[in-house]
Amino acid sequence: MSDVPYKNIDVIGDKSSDVVWHQASVLTEQRVSANGHKPVVLWYTGLSGSGKSTVANAVDKMLFDLGCKTYVLDGDNVRHGLNGDLSFTDVDRIENIRRIGEVAKLFVDAGLIVSTAFISPFLADRQMVRDLLPNGIFVEVFIDTPIDVCESRDPKGLYKKARSGEIKNFTGIDSAYDMPLSPEIHVKTDLASIEGCASQVVDYLVEKGIVAR
Amino acid sequence: MSDVPYKNIDVIGDKSSDVVWHQASVLTEQRVSANGHKPVVLWYTGLSGSGKSTVANAVDKMLFDLGCKTYVLDGDNVRHGLNGDLSFTDVDRIENIRRIGEVAKLFVDAGLIVSTAFISPFLADRQMVRDLLPNGIFVEVFIDTPIDVCESRDPKGLYKKARSGEIKNFTGIDSAYDMPLSPEIHVKTDLASIEGCASQVVDYLVEKGIVAR
């Protein structure tokens, strides 16, 4: 990483011109002002098949339609790209969540509302990400769907494979899922439509003054 | 990484409702349309002290003032965060650039103009990132400043330390810098003002129809 000496020397000119050039940077506050909403991380957590990605994308669409600048990080765009080098060891599982948290932080710095849709089964990992971010930025959205409902959906038969032992360390079957203790938003997908679930998330953002409707 | 079985099972309901829910996702084209400009990666490369970060931030400010959605990835926000686990070995140096490229790709997918300001001295690494992205998205900006000019700036005395051997593997002193062979934009900071250099980049984006002025 030959970029190490980069930070402090990549400034042209003397000290007075440094000041001028630091002023040229766009501040997060300016991005927020231009976007018309505050940035947050909507951190969706829940079992496989619980509906994290579905709800996250429905919320994202609602926010986009309200004029918000948004993005969704999920298995589709992260697993084969940024985190394509990671395996299934405990160490790599933690690193997976750490990197997603750090990328979410960059998106927040850029002024966006970024959603992450990963099982993220462990309290400690979710707390690590919460601690990365300023207060109020990490919004934990618990997609609380009973495992029997997740299992009955099971469109790819993964629960079936986990039950038969063909897949090991499957969350909810032979690997733990730590339920959020006090999530900012608690969504029960078996009791509401997807639109209803998504509205619950958007309502929270409006109530908190993050987004205007 | 217990998110592995995630991709294909995180859909609620049967096949017909899958379709409905896939339609709910916001497409990159829709983000582009809302933003009023196309997304690209402005990949700045050049020696330490060449002015990459300075020019990148000046360009970013100009683009922001034109109403563009932008972000700058640089040592300040990447090195201690996402890439804080990386050391200075060759393997980690490549991984540093790979991750920056992957994150830039996510920002492009979100519709932003993302600038990266890292020395990125090796052709192979820059080519790797170019290959990650669709055609026309990777815009290489060569910040071409003679090493004696960089060295005369040397506000933190790092060139001095490299000359004395106190710092090893310093790009341009005892580690190679592969000059870009055909960069999209070739900026000579010793022949123009910072504003002039930044305008050169913005002019390119306007000419290519990426940004409207």
| Sequence ranges of the binding site of A | 46-53
Residue A163 has pLDDT above 70, yes or no: yes
B84-121 confidence digits (pLDDT tens): 999 888 899 999 999 999 999 999 999 999 999 999 99
Determine the pLDDT at residue A155. Answer: 74
Chain A residue with the nearest C-alpha to that of B107: A107
Question: A51, B10: Cβ pair inside 8 Å?
Answer: yes
B105 touches A at CB < 8 Å: yes
Helix or strand (DSSP H, E) at A42: strand A41-45
| Contact residues on chain A for B34, CB-CB shorter than 8 A | 64, 67
Tell me the two tokens of residue A197. 């679930």
Question: B12, A54: Cβ pair inside 8 Å?
Answer: yes
Rounded distance, CA B10 to CA A76, Å?
11
Question: A155, B8: Cβ pair inside 8 Å?
Answer: yes
Average pLDDT over residues A161-172: 94
**B187 pairs with which residues across the strands?**
B143
Q: Give the pLDDT of chain B (213 residues) as one tens digit per residue.
A: 434 332 222 333 333 333 333 446 899 999 999 999 999 999 999 999 999 999 999 999 999 999 999 999 998 899 889 999 998 888 999 999 999 999 999 999 999 999 999 999 999 999 999 999 999 999 999 999 999 999 999 977 999 999 999 999 999 999 999 999 999 999 999 999 999 999 999 999 999 999 998
Is B49 within any annotated ligand binding site? yes
| Contact residues on chain B for A189, CB-CB shorter than 8 A | 12
| Contact residues on chain B for A194, CB-CB shorter than 8 A | 12, 21
Determine the pLDDT at residue B115. Answer: 98
A99 touches B at CB < 8 Å: yes
Is B47 within any annotated ligand binding site? yes
Is B53 within any annotated ligand binding site? yes
A160 touches B at CB < 8 Å: no
A30-66 confidence digits (pLDDT tens): 999 999 999 999 999 999 999 999 999 999 999 999 9
Residue A209 has pLDDT above 90, yes or no: yes
| Contact residues on chain B for A175, CB-CB shorter than 8 A | 2
Please name each of the domains of chain A with its CATH number.
26-207 (3.40.50.300)
The complex's ipTM? 0.89
Q: Percent of chain A having pLDDT more than 70? A: 89
- Burial (CB count <10 Å: 0-12, 13-18, 19+), residue A199: middle
Nearest by CB to A30, from B51, B64, B92: name it. Answer: B64
Tell me the two tokens of residue A53. 């990605």
Which amino acid is it at A39?
Answer: P
| Mean pLDDT score of chain A | 89
Residues of A annotated as catalytic (active site), given as ranges: 120
A6 touches B at CB < 8 Å: yes
Determine the pLDDT at residue B212. Answer: 95
- Phi first, then psi, for residue A159 (nearest 5°) are -60, -40
Determine the pLDDT at residue A175. Answer: 92
Query: What is B23-67 written as a DSSP string?
Result: HTSPPHHHHHHHHTS---EEEEE--TTSSHHHHHHHHHHHHHHTT
Determine the pLDDT at residue A24. Answer: 59
Question: B170, A106: Cβ pair inside 8 Å?
Answer: no
| Contact residues on chain A for B158, CB-CB shorter than 8 A | 5, 8-9
CA of B8 vs chain A CAs: smallest distance (Å): 7
Determine the pLDDT at residue B206. Answer: 98
CB atoms under 10 Å from CB of A200, counted, come to: 17
A92-119 confidence digits (pLDDT tens): 999 999 999 999 999 999 999 999 999 9
